[in-house]
Amino acid sequence: MEVRIPKRTLAEGLSILERIIPNRSSNPILTYLPIELSDTGLTLRGTNGEVDIEVRLPAEIQGSGQVLVPAQTFSQIVRSAPGELVELIFGQGSEGVKGAGAGATGERLELHSGAFNTQLSTTSPDGYPELSFSQPGTEKIAASRLAQAITRVRYAASTEEYRAIFRGVQLEMSPNGLRSVASDGFRLARYDLPLQLQTRKLVIPARSADEIVRVFKDAQGEVAFAVGEGSLTLVGESVRMAVKLMEGEFPDYARVIPQSFVLEATLAAEALRESLKRVAVLSDRNNHRVNLLFNDGKLDIDAEGDYGRGREELSIDSSGEPQLMVAYNAQYLIDALAPIEGAVRIKLSGPTSPSVVQAVEDTGYLAVVVPLRV
Amino acid sequence: MEVRIPKRTLAEGLSILERIIPNRSSNPILTYLPIELSDTGLTLRGTNGEVDIEVRLPAEIQGSGQVLVPAQTFSQIVRSAPGELVELIFGQGSEGVKGAGAGATGERLELHSGAFNTQLSTTSPDGYPELSFSQPGTEKIAASRLAQAITRVRYAASTEEYRAIFRGVQLEMSPNGLRSVASDGFRLARYDLPLQLQTRKLVIPARSADEIVRVFKDAQGEVAFAVGEGSLTLVGESVRMAVKLMEGEFPDYARVIPQSFVLEATLAAEALRESLKRVAVLSDRNNHRVNLLFNDGKLDIDAEGDYGRGREELSIDSSGEPQLMVAYNAQYLIDALAPIEGAVRIKLSGPTSPSVVQAVEDTGYLAVVVPLRV
């Protein structure tokens, strides 16, 4: 069993797995990295119990088989390898490395790169959990678009234990497209991607959703997928990923999205975001309250807390009521604006009922923010 | 009392103070920033009890006086100010900011920048500790050289509570120059800067030494200094700094620096450092032991730990004994090499007695590393 592989290819493969393979675990075998050699290339795997990942790398290979190596140590060694090429030789004993002495029993992996030689103890793959990936159908999504759909709404997912299903991101597939939704009860984010898909709903734990984004956001090509028993399998060009799904689905959230508005205002999202950040420095540290006074072509933003008061005025285009005052948690409004480039439209349904935040250009994105009570 | 000052100037001044002003303190007044206006400009101050800093900034000023503002909030506001210019107006009440209402009693600072307006509550400077800076003499050191003298040796200072005086960096001034020294008992670093100074010795706590480096490493010009009662005052172009000194001085450390050697080897410091980092990945996690075998124009580096063994061979120029094996804590050797650019000379006095590490070019730097016992 021998492998020759560019250091960079191997390091990139490991970087996909590194974040999910635990450094410590009550099940220590999970801290190991299964390496499999076969005709089709080098396969690396890892799991944290919630997310399984498998990476296939092209390599020059002789022989076939599977071993476990200590994941963290192996990654460190590969990253620090001095040569452009890394050679892996799996076997018994110590031949090939001059002077390998003490402890030279059992199975081992030799790694050669430039003048640097390493022998790593390896372990039998027996006892490593079976990673199960479902067989995907023919439906596909561009990898970067899938990541985008999650990223746009992820911020609104709840971090509170008691919020149950709202700690996830819901994906709704249908012949109309892919809709992603997240909410924590005080705000909601929704993103629509036009696509033709079979109808199904699933909820991905927010942390696993982050891993999907991390793996696929810069990936080329498309992702095929399969929804199995309680898990979603995603198959990209060189990566397979299975994430455990949450049970159940979001209760009817559409009813919190207001349909009629008393005032609509348009302005540059970036200017509003920066202004909110400045003014919020002075806001009350408990509720981060900022007051927005929409007033005849002007938006007055102000906040007051223990240390004083901040205020800034922006120009807006507005229609509807001439004047309206609404108070928000500044951070919620800043989060809702984050995915928006260019102009934002803020649609108010009243001083205490939910407001809608939408990009003027990217009509797929919609956020709802519930105002603070006056 | 009014100030007009470029945002950048003010933000840079604050960045010098921010790290030492505590966010929380058993003495809450220390979390405030004293701002003083006078004919000579705007003066900002701060202290953490160990280090006092005063920054003088050029500004357009009307009036004179001193107030305290909440340091963290003020810094955040200045950093986020939208305009290039910041205007500060000190006074009673709320004139100048439209609509300032609730809580508008007592003293306040108004900050204007672009369309952004802030009112901050201010506090009387009564009760803020007096910062005492001694009057410096005529001796001066280039700011960047002073920082360099500390940086070169700082790594060797002890982090162990019980090491007392060795938790500091010793500066030895004399007509021959400035010598900086640090040691933790297992290693020692010494750096000589040629200068003509009065003879004195002082020991700066390592953390305060870090602050000196931070403040002066990129500073232009020279630093004048004064050694007062238990404190060192440093006076730069726009910054004054006073640091509390440690009591006592290092015991005679010269005796641990070997004077005769059985083997001397020269090689590229960078190559050795990188090789040590690679091989050390496999080293024992307790003592980070690496074995260096100096052998007839070659240096064999190897390490062995729970997961396996790493090995690398480098070419060296050597003189003296044909062969010698020495074991080190890899991190100690990597630290000792860090300040060295170009070639390094390693001088061995034996397998268990201290080794000397020196730059071939920069002869001012010397490190001693005690080998691990075999």
CA distances to A314, A319, B189, B215, B319 from B263, in Å:
74, 86, 20, 41, 6
Q: Is the pLDDT of residue B106 over 70?
A: no
Say if B31 is an interface residue toward chain A (CB within 8 Å).
no
Q: Return d(Cα A269, Cα B124) in angstroms, integer.
A: 40
Structure confidence at residue B318 (pLDDT): 96
Say if B284 is an interface residue toward chain A (CB within 8 Å).
no
Nearest residue of chain A to residue B71 (CA atoms)? A307
Q: Is the pLDDT of residue A96 over 70?
A: no
Give A309-342 pLDDT, tens digit per residue. 999 999 999 999 999 999 999 999 999 999 999 9
Structure confidence at residue B92 (pLDDT): 73
Q: Is the pLDDT of residue B174 over 70?
A: yes
Size of interface A-B (CB pairs under 8 A): 116
Q: Is the pLDDT of residue A306 over 50?
A: yes
Q: Is the pLDDT of residue B321 over 50?
A: yes
The DSSP string of A15-37 is HHHHTTS-SS-SSGGGGEEEEEE
Structure confidence at residue B163 (pLDDT): 82
Say if B33 is an interface residue toward chain A (CB within 8 Å).
no
Question: In degrees rounded to 5, what are phi and psi of residue A217?
Answer: -65, -35
Bridge partner residues of A17 (DSSP): none
Residue pair A87/A113 in contact (Cβ under 8 Å)? The answer is yes
Extract the tokens encoding B2: 């009014």
Structure confidence at residue A103 (pLDDT): 39
* Partners of residue A274 in chain B, C-beta under 8 Å: 80, 82
Structure confidence at residue B93 (pLDDT): 55
Give B183-238 pLDDT, tens digit per residue. 999 999 999 999 999 999 999 999 999 999 999 999 889 999 999 889 999 999 99
A311/B117 CB distance under 8 A: yes
Structure confidence at residue A163 (pLDDT): 82
| pLDDT range class, residue A122, cuts 50, 70, 90 | very high
Task: Indicate the residue of B98, B274, B281 with minimum beta-carbon distance to A73.
Answer: B281
Residue A349 falls in which region: left (phi positive, over 0), alpha (psi -120 to 50) or beta: alpha
DSSP 8-class letter at A12: H
Percent of chain A topping pLDDT 70: 96
Q: Is A198 helix (H, G, I), strand (E, B) or coil?
A: coil
Give A138-152 pLDDT, tens digit per residue. 999 999 999 999 999
Task: Indicate the residue of B118, B121, B278 with minimum beta-carbon distance to A116.
Answer: B278
Q: Which of residues 234-273 of B touch A (CB under 8 A)?
A: none
Structure confidence at residue A161 (pLDDT): 80
* Partners of residue A308 in chain B, C-beta under 8 Å: 73, 108-109, 118-121
Report the pLDDT averaged over residues A204-232.
Answer: 95
Give B306→chain A minimum CA distance, Å.
Answer: 8
The two beta strands, B222-227 and B231-235, are antiparallel
| pLDDT range class, residue B105, cuts 50, 70, 90 | very low
Q: Return d(Cα A167, Cα A317) in angstroms, integer.
A: 36
Q: Return d(Cα B269, Cα B338) in angstroms, integer.
A: 8
Residue pair A145/A230 in contact (Cβ under 8 Å)? The answer is no
Give A25-54 pLDDT, tens digit per residue. 999 999 999 999 998 899 999 999 999 999
Q: Is the pLDDT of residue A278 over 80?
A: yes
Say if A76 is an interface residue toward chain B (CB within 8 Å).
yes
B309/A97 CB distance under 8 A: yes
Report the pLDDT averaged over residues B104-123.
Answer: 87
Q: Return d(Cα B96, Cα A311) in angstroms, integer.
A: 12
Q: Is the pLDDT of residue A287 over 50?
A: yes
Distance of CA B29 to the CA centre of its chain: 26
Q: Return d(Cα B13, Cα B36) in angstroms, integer.
A: 13
Extract the tokens encoding A353: 């009922």
Structure confidence at residue B132 (pLDDT): 86
Say if A73 is an interface residue toward chain B (CB within 8 Å).
yes
ipTM comes to 0.83
Structure confidence at residue A31 (pLDDT): 96
- Triad A314, A316, A322: Cα angle to 5°: 110
Structure confidence at residue B107 (pLDDT): 86
Extract the tokens encoding B119: 């009112």
Extract the tokens encoding A220: 């080329």
- Select the more confidently predicted residue: A8 or B107: A8
Structure confidence at residue B96 (pLDDT): 39
Give B224-250 pLDDT, tens digit per residue. 999 988 999 999 999 999 999 999 999
| pLDDT range class, residue B100, cuts 50, 70, 90 | very low
Q: Return d(Cα A44, Cα A36) in angstroms, integer.
A: 7
Nearest residue of chain A to residue B69 (CA atoms)? A307
A311/B76 CB distance under 8 A: no
Structure confidence at residue B236 (pLDDT): 95
| pLDDT range class, residue B129, cuts 50, 70, 90 | very high
Residue pair B279/B285 in contact (Cβ under 8 Å)? The answer is no
Q: Return d(Cα A342, Cα B272) in angstroms, integer.
A: 52
Give B47-92 pLDDT, tens digit per residue. 999 999 999 999 999 999 999 999 999 999 999 999 999 999 998 7
> At residue B303, what is the residue type?
A
A282/B117 CB distance under 8 A: no
Q: Is the pLDDT of residue A360 over 70?
A: yes
* Partners of residue B282 in chain A, C-beta under 8 Å: 73, 77, 118, 120
Closest among A271, A257, A270 to A340, alpha carbons compared: A270
Q: Which of residues 96-115 of B touch A (CB under 8 A)?
A: 97-100, 102-103, 108-109, 115
The rounded mean pLDDT for chain A is 93
B313/A115 CB distance under 8 A: yes
Q: Is the pLDDT of residue A100 over 80?
A: no
Report the pLDDT averaged over residues A64-93.
Answer: 92
Q: Return d(Cα A93, Cα A211) in angstroms, integer.
A: 38
Mutation target among B68, B118, B272, B277 for the A interface, most CBs of A within 10 A: B118
Q: Is the pLDDT of residue B95 over 50?
A: no
Q: Is the pLDDT of residue A160 over 70?
A: yes
Q: Return d(Cα A263, Cα B10) in angstroms, integer.
A: 40
Structure confidence at residue A93 (pLDDT): 55
Residue pair B121/B108 in contact (Cβ under 8 Å)? The answer is yes
The DSSP string of B197-230 is ---EEEEEEHHHHHHHHHHHTT--SEEEEEE-SS
Q: Is the pLDDT of residue A106 over 70?
A: no
Q: Is A177 helix (H, G, I), strand (E, B) or coil?
A: strand
B77/A115 CB distance under 8 A: no
Give A258→chain B minimum CA distance, Å.
Answer: 32
